[in-house]
Structures are given as C-alpha cells and as structure tokens.
Amino acid sequence: MIQELATRIDEKRGELESWFEKRFGDSLPPVYSSVDLRNAGFKISVVDTNLFPAGFNNLCETFSEKASAAFKEFFQKNYPAHQKILLIPEEHTRNLFYLKNIEALKEILTKADLEVHVGSPLQTADFSPDLILINNDLSAGFPEYLRGLSQPILPSPHLGWHRRRKSDHFALYIQLMREAAAILDIDPWLLYPLTQVETGIDLTDAGCLKRLQESADRLLLQIRQKYLEHGISREPYLFMKDNAGTYGLGMMTVRSGHELLALGRRVRNKLEFAKGGRRVSEYLLQEGIPTADLYKGKALEPVVYLVGGKMVGTFFRIHGEKGEMESLNSPGMTFSCLCFHKVRPPTRSFDLTYERKEELFVVAKFLGQVASLAAALESEFHRKEKAA
C-alpha cells in the first residue's frame, strides 16, 4: 500500500499542491507542529497532532538545519519585523529530555538569525521581545502573564489543551483527507482513523459506562465492516483517549465495549486524571492502527516535525516493551533518528527495506502537511470564535 500511495502522491503532486494552496487560503500555518503516524501496511494515518512539539533534540544535524531554514522563511514571510523571540517553556519541569528539547529549539531559532531568550515575561524584564513563542501545551490553563500582551503569541494560547480538543482536530483532518483522497482516487479510510467522541463522562457512573460501551461497539462494527470490504483478516480494536490529553496519559486499548463496563479501580484512576491532575470527562474513541514497522523486532512509529506547514524532519519512536497494537507514547519509549538522507541498503537490524523507507517518507510528508492544514483551520476557527 505504501508503494502505491507514494506513487500516486508523486503523480498527483501538482493537483495536491494546488489543493493545499486553495485550502490554506489566508490561514497561517502553525509555526511548528509534530504528528505521530501509524503504518499498518494496509493503511497509514496520523493518530495525534501536537501544536507544542517537544522533541527538537531528536532531530539530526541535517534536519535541524532544515528547521532553521524553515523558521527563517516563516518569520521573514509572516513576521519580518519580529526578530527578538521570547521562548516560553513548560514550567517547573525537571525532565532532562524536555530541557534538551528547549536547548535544541533555541539553537535552531538562533541559526535562523533570531535573537532568542528563554523564560517568561515575569522573568525577563531586561528583554523586550517582538514575539512570544510558546513551547508549553498550557494544560493548566491560559496563564495570566500572557493576557493583555501587545506582542504576537505563537501558537495561540487558545490552542492549549485547556481548550483544544482532539475530536475537533480529527473532524477537520478527516474532512480534508476525504478531499485529498478524491484527488488520489483511493478510499479515504486508508488515510484516517475512524473516531467517536463522548463527553460528560464519569467513569464511576454506570450510565456513562454503558454509553461508552455502546459507542465503542458501534465504532468496532464500522471498522470490522471496512476490514471485510478490504479483505483484512484481523480483529479491530480502539484506543480510548483523553480528548484534551498529552504525553499518552488517560489512554487504554479497547477490543470490546464490554471491557468498559468492568473497569477496575486501577485502570479507572489511570483514565480519570490527566497531566497536572486535571480530571478527564471527555474521551475520544479512535480506531486502533497496528504498526507494521519494526526495529530489531521492536515496534516503532514515525514522528514528523513541521515548521510553517513544511516537513523539516522525521524520526522514529520505539518501545521495546510494547507490541504492534499498543500505544508507544508511554514511559520507556526511545527515539531513533533514522533519517531518510542516511538510508542505506537493508540490514537485518532494520525491518524496513531501502525502497519502502524512501516511500514511507513521501507518504509521511503528505500526511503531516494535511494535519498541519487541519491545525491551521483549527486555529482560524478559534480566532474567529474569539473575535465574535
């Protein structure tokens, strides 16, 4: 499927570029974003889009240089008079990997000929920025120190997880992918996960659990029907996710709606609370896409990084203790910078062939761009909502 899809993307490149240009219109692409992909062999899709990406330290030198060039282009085109950037990171974190991300991001921005300071407006009285760049997903809410500022703020604080919903993003992504799939002349289901959202959920309430169970079974039936249509001989499954979550928290694998009627206390506690102790009441039921990609027998998934809507780099998330059907975004994951420009002929240690890796990057770029377009439309919606 990957080979055929990559060929069609290449053949339809002109039509796709025209479609992207028309659909973006006057919408500003996200200053940066990252997407997680899952490739099942029979279908491939974005399964999560992050508008406050925290893995710039995982980009190799070549990809970091591409990111610098893309940032320079983005700011020259959209904010030509804004050269002093205040980079606001996560607050009170001791996560060394995250701090390496901030260090790498600052270096990438500096090489884009930008003057960068790291901190908050309260901590940098001696620095007067032209623009605020947030690398904090704002799960805890809209910070007071960002209110009333005259400088542009990217991304919009209204896209933080205190307000943003995965279901809104995927509704846009699915609609866009249906349009793109018509250009490619393929079934759009091959490029997106079926989803359903349930709100106002209390996992201690039997009525809420019954509602989740019925919703999960309906979605599993839809997936099963698509499997039959495409001759796929395996049982479908779902991920139940916090609809406003991050870091892989508030998630479980669901193979039958019945599982949701008998949640143990330990599982329920895991699902009910998100980052910062926020209580979860909205859940996204999302089609599970098993990964067909392996590294030394370990499950992996591509992660695509974009700046200004353009792909600047790709690396792989790997988890040695998770299987093909499980989420890899969990403690114990590692990252490998298997860059396409460093691809060599296949070895036994890497289970993707040379040709398939090249094709995978073509497809990954396309999927990332569609997700970036969805995020741009998402941001535009919030901007208009705020103006109203």
Answer whether residue 235 shows pLDDT above 90: yes
- Considering 91-105, 118-132, 315-329, the range whose residues carry the highest mean pLDDT is 91-105
C-alpha span between 339 and 362 (Å, rounded):
13
| Per-residue pLDDT at 345 | 39
Whole-angstrom CA distances from 114 to 103, 267, 332 are: 14, 46, 35
Segment 21-48 shows an average pLDDT of: 94
- Tell me the pLDDT tens digit for each residue of 128-174: 899 999 999 998 888 888 888 889 999 999 999 989 999 999 999 99
Closest listed residue to residue 251, CA positions, set 164, 166, 329: 329
| Domains along the sequence of the chain with CATH | 1-51+164-193+295-388 (no CATH), 61-163 (3.40.50.11280), 194-287 (3.30.1490.20)
Judge whether 360 and 316 are in contact, CB under 8 Å.
Answer: no
Question: How far apart are the C-alpha atoms of 193 and 47, rounded to whole Å?
Answer: 7
pTM of the shown model: 0.90
Strand, coil or helix: 13 = helix
Mean pLDDT check: name the lowest of 57-61, 145-149, 188-192, 354-358.
354-358
- Write the pLDDT tens digit of every residue in 187-203: 999 999 999 999 999 99
Report which of residues 127 and 23 the model is more confident about.
23
Structure tokens at 16: 């796709």
Per-residue exposure over 12-46, b if at least 16 CB sit within 10 Å of its own CB, e if not:
beeebeebbeebbeebbbbbbbbbbbbbbebbbbb
Round to whole Å and give the CA distance between 369 and 309: 6
Asked if 12 and 184 touch (Cβ cutoff 8 Å), the reply is: yes
Q: How confident is the model at residue 350 (pLDDT cuts 50, 70, 90)?
A: very low
